Structure 1
């Protein structure tokens, strides 16, 4: 009895998997896009769980009245960008007031701008980016990243 084994298909699959593990920029791009999509979904749904409602003072000061929370001008939502390198996936905004909305602030405390104390009432946290109060990825964000990584790994063996 003779058994012949052609290793060429196995070599191709292993080479493809190794290439996927070395050149991870496509994976990082997919992760950053998925996290950006999760962030945009938070704006669309008004948070998950739902963000605290607006105070009467805030409604009176807004250009659009009650409108969608965190979307009076749309500047915050438009400022959020996704970037990546071969080793990192990043989403974020450079607006100085974004952390105040993400994490909340108390009246009189210095906001995340460090320029002046919050002059109005308390601002509840309205997390729009899928991170927790410590700046770590949230559980929902983790699930999205895990799904992207699993898809990437499954494709690397095809």
Structure 2
């Protein structure tokens, strides 16, 4: 390596001669080669944090979800299920319970396979998806965005802590 003109570069090499240090560094390196346990823990954490949002009715940024419209509540009552007044909690409770994660070497994905999950996340205007066979708009009314999927600042810190614990555990001795 050549130093740029007019600059001195100091370089040094660190060599570990003690086997316990070498063993711990190699263990940390092996953990990086197999991040699956870390990704699994992160996935489980994010799924649980997401499900908790349905209990408290708020977005990852702490804002409260828009309430259900009275029309929606009235439809639930007419169908015999008027007890579901919380936003995003329908008769089946599927969106609040069918949150899953998938992990690979590339990372973790969290979400729902329910076809309406994206509409609940981003909202939709009345008739945005056309009409049904009777000519009624789909959806039949405006659906406000209720962001249920994402990471809060607390979630960010927890994920960093999980990663730090996973990689740092062999070094903590």
The question of a shared fold, defined as TM-score above 0.5 by the shorter chain, is answered with yes
Say how many residue pairs are matched.
144
Unaligned runs of 5+ in 2: 1-15, 131-135
State the TM-score, normalizing by the size of structure 1: 0.79
Conserved? CA contact 1:54–1:66, under 8 Å: no
- After TM superposition, list the pairs within 5 Å mapping 1:1-158 onto structure 2: 7-47=18-58, 48-62=62-76, 63-72=81-90, 73-110=92-129, 118-130=138-150, 139=153, 141-158=155-172
Change (3 A) 1:61 1:40: same
- Report runs of 4+ in structure 1 exceeding 4 Å deviation: 137-141
Extract unaligned runs of 5+ from structure 1.
131-136
Distance 1:102-1:56 versus aligned 2 partners, 3 A rule: same
Tell me by how many angstroms 1:6 deviates.
5.6
Of structures 1 and 2, the larger Rg is shown by 2
